[in-house]
Structure 1
Amino acid sequence: MQTTPLFGLDRRNMLRIAAAGVMGATLPSLPIFAAESAQNRPVGFGKAKSVLIVLLSGGPSQLDTLDLKPEAPQEVRGEFQPISTKVPGISVCEHLPKLASQMERWAIVRTMAHQEHNHLLATHVALTGRPTPLPRGGSDLDRVESRNDFPNFAAALDFVRPRNDGIPSGVTLPNYLIEGPLTWPGQHGGFLGAKHDPWQINGDPSDKNFRIEALSMRDGVSLDRLQSRHQLLDDLNHGRHSLSGINTDSLRDQRDIAYKLLNSAKLAQAFEIGRESDETRERYGQNKFGQSLLLSRRMIEAGVPIVQATMGIVQTWDTHVDNWGKLKNRLLPELDQGLAALTDDLASSGKLDETLLIVMGEFGRTPKVSTLPGQTIPGRDHWAHAYSGLFAGAGIQGGQVLGQTDAKAAYPITNSWSPADVCSTIFNAIGVDSGATIYDPLNRPHHLLNGSVISNLYTGAST
């Protein structure tokens, strides 16, 4: 199995990423766009300047969060009770009181669905909107990260809308999804090459020593000295290219990205989370997830178009054992507090109107409670046939529920939406035309918006 090293943001790893960037060198440099008039664009087009994806890795239980079934049998409904929200007729879990009080900001989609029940394959689907490419000759349930993967949302955006201002198209934090020999697919630029990888931050923003070393220069290296070195390297590479005829464009691209980042005072300041007051940091929660949401807000304010904040480490929400204890004692309170502080701040600054927020896992949990062999505390297993997500901001009509599941929250009984639809909704929201195209290494075209925009989020139409 092929794995990819973590993309730490120090100078050494910048060079490692640069070397890997050669893989994207054979791809066409320009996307194809279909001509679309303003009248033909889907609802919600261009409403967002940024997208924040809050990934609940492992898959939260829909039955214990956003789609409770209090009338179901005990072995299905579980231990939690629903509570009313600020919007009449909508209820959520009793351990999400702040969400309940802010329900007018949020839309719940209760009929998200796909076919992958394996964490790795489902994560690729969730973060790219595409099925995971499988090895030739059969399936592999532990198919790990590969440069044959489809690009994640930030990488695809970087391909169709490249930047040159020192602000990356995407930032992912606070950790890479990797466990032992398994590295989760869907986390980078895939077949587009490392040139388009989002920034990966590996660190705990709640740590008082948190700092991004890649955005600081070594002692004795001033900005003038850095610029002089950059010009000298340009001259040397130009001469070498003229003599050898070797194409060094990909490596030069990576070097230029690193140079622009070092020159980006705006981005460097955004990572200085210690600039926030103690009161603000307490509102988000003095924990890794709460501070990751606070740092995500700062990334959005700095102009990063796509930010992904993962709650916990790999499979934190994979509650095969002690489902209700883990949810009640840590996961739901941290999620509730962090999201409330985030939306309060975005709303007060006016950024909520131009930021699309999506909270989702790679799938949900089984309707029937079970106890694993050798365990005594029950939980729920993987379930992708029906699960719930939260959407807010950038024109989304809050205070609504889209989709309805059956009496056990097992299957949709109304329209369902796939990760491909989430993908199309994201790119439509940030103003990417439906004809935008990416190319794989065989030069085959793939439409970036490969699903349907979830227009009901904007119109409030029932399903």
Structure 2
Amino acid sequence: MKSLDRRDLLHVGCSTLFGLTLPRIMSAATNASNGAKPKSVILVLQSGGCPQMDSFDPKPDGPSETKGEFGAIQTKTPGMLFSDQLPHLAKVSDKFAIVRTMAHGDNRHLSATHHALTGVAQVFRGNANEDKELSRLDRPSYGSALEYLRPSVNGLPSQVTAPLPLIEGPLTWPGQHSGFLGPKFDPWIINSDPSTDEFKVDGVQLIDGMTTSRLKNRKGLLEDLNSQKRSLDRLARKQQFTSQQDVAFNLLTSGKLTGACDIHAESDELRDRYGRNKYGQTLLLARRMVENGVPFVQANMGHVQSWDTHAENFPRLKGHLLPGVDQGVSALITDLEERGLIDDVLIVVVGEFGRSPRISTLPNATVPGRDHWAYVYSALFAGGGVRGGQVIG
């Protein structure tokens, strides 16, 4: 049997979402489609776990302890029912496929997120019951592995994550960077809310008074200094730092990333269509990124565990979680279609797992919710050659 080297393992890991599930899903989803192959991916991450029974897989005839407070509505696709909290997506159901049989066996947030963002289950050493946060032992994220396998040559990063990294207190969720590949391949993280008037991306714009010419002169001086330092210090860390300087310099001088981030260039009408909130404007920013040549964008729908609805499941879903995704994702799909880009971009909407069918109330809580449930949940796939109007599972 042929042994696998690191590059082979990256190919295996990055071709999957939760192991070997995605190739089979995509084979079914693209059956009889136009054969398009996507150039970019937008991963719309519902961190915490979206309740499938209150979104894409309602059970209106189920018992009261499972069906919940929401009703079900008929979508544009005959026989496909959605929660009544998703009216915008229901109107464009012919443009995407719903997979209702996503599954794995890990009900822990951190390790399940690593699985979702890298395609590989997290390896535990020691106590397997302890949460394992971000480390350089992680497998690389999809975009980081892409940068390693096919380095970017257009002055743009291979992966952009927005609007915030997944961090809660002292814990940083694993799977968000390049892992064992090292920081050279880390994604670019936008640590700012694109729905605010003050939105800008720090670090990709020249400061006042600094011209491209002056910056190039400084880079030349820095290269001279680095050359002298190398004669004294041959450590790989120094060489890696130099490559990171080159990446930062290219981002600053090309202006491409700055232009892609200029969400204020969009019309008020289009920004309104996406929704003037963090979810909608993050998805609009994601469209600008792929339109400008970024191959992988991770659009986080809220902060870490926003969708972790152990308590107040129905008020939180109705108040902002589902409306933001409903309006934003439907606008993203129609916007890409209107621009002739829908076949070039694969959109995946998913969490690290789903929520339990049975409704329960936590001790000391007054409003019920749903617990973690990795055994069956739903995901949305659109664009990239996916045949719309399908329910798989």
1:285 corresponds to which of 260, 270, 275: 275
1:108-257 counterparts in 2 under 5 A? Answer: 108-134=98-124, 136-242=125-231, 245-247=234-236, 248-257=238-247
Distance in 1 of aligned mates of 2:84 and 2:233: 68
What is the match of residue 389 of structure 1? 379
Deviations 1:324-351 (A, max 9, x none): 1111121111111111211111000011
What is the match of residue 22 of structure 2? none
Distance in 2 of aligned mates of 1:33 and 1:144: 24
TM-score (norm 2): 0.90
2:254 corresponds to which of 235, 249, 264: 264
Distance in 1 of aligned mates of 2:186 and 2:291: 21
Q: What SS does structure 2 have at the residue aligned with 1:215?
A: coil
Deviations 1:282-335 (A, max 9, x none): 111111111101111111111000000011111111111111111112111111
The residue type equivalent to 1:213 in the other structure is D
Distance in 2 of aligned mates of 1:287 and 1:156: 31
Q: What SS does structure 1 have at the residue aligned with 2:320?
A: helix
Distance in 2 of aligned mates of 1:119 and 1:246: 37
Q: What SS does structure 1 have at the residue aligned with 2:203?
A: helix
Change (3 A) 1:229 1:362: same
The residue type equivalent to 1:294 in the other structure is L
In structure 2, list runs of 5 or more residues that go unmatched: 13-25
The residue type equivalent to 2:85 in the other structure is H
What is the match of residue 334 of structure 2? 344
What is the match of residue 72 of structure 1? 62
What is the match of residue 265 of structure 2? 275
Q: Tell whether 2:272 aligns with 1:307.
A: no
Identical pairs, percent: 51
Deviations 1:211-232 (A, max 9, x none): 1121111222211111111122
Deviations 1:136-192 (A, max 9, x none): 322143211111111111111111011133100000000111111111111111111
Q: What SS does structure 2 have at the residue aligned with 1:366?
A: strand
Deviation at 1:201, TM superposition (A): 0.8
Change (3 A) 1:166 1:31: farther
Q: What SS does structure 2 have at the residue aligned with 1:369?
A: strand
Is residue 122–residue 138 contact of structure 2 (8 Å, CA) maintained in 1?
Answer: yes
Is residue 359–residue 390 contact of structure 1 (8 Å, CA) maintained in 2?
Answer: yes
Deviations 1:240-281 (A, max 9, x none): 324655553211110000000001222211111111111111
Change (3 A) 1:78 1:132: same
Distance in 1 of aligned mates of 2:160 and 2:304: 18
Change (3 A) 1:139 1:28: closer
Is residue 164–residue 190 contact of structure 2 (8 Å, CA) maintained in 1?
Answer: yes
The residue type equivalent to 1:202 in the other structure is N
Distance in 1 of aligned mates of 2:110 and 2:92: 33
What is the match of residue 20 of structure 2? none
Q: What SS does structure 2 have at the residue aligned with 1:137?
A: coil
Is residue 30–residue 160 contact of structure 1 (8 Å, CA) maintained in 2?
Answer: no
Is residue 310–residue 361 contact of structure 2 (8 Å, CA) maintained in 1?
Answer: yes
What is the match of residue 297 of structure 1? 287
What is the match of residue 402 of structure 1? 392
Is residue 36–residue 385 contact of structure 2 (8 Å, CA) maintained in 1?
Answer: no
Change (3 A) 1:30 1:317: closer
The residue type equivalent to 2:389 in the other structure is G
Deviation at 1:30, TM superposition (A): 10
Is residue 163–residue 282 contact of structure 2 (8 Å, CA) maintained in 1?
Answer: yes
Deviations 1:356-405 (A, max 9, x none): 000001100111110000111111000000000000101101100111xx
Distance in 2 of aligned mates of 1:340 and 1:354: 17
Aligned length in residues: 369
Deviation at 1:238, TM superposition (A): 2.5
Change (3 A) 1:213 1:72: same
What is the match of residue 88 of structure 2? 98
Is residue 36–residue 344 contact of structure 2 (8 Å, CA) maintained in 1?
Answer: no
Is residue 95–residue 328 contact of structure 1 (8 Å, CA) maintained in 2?
Answer: yes
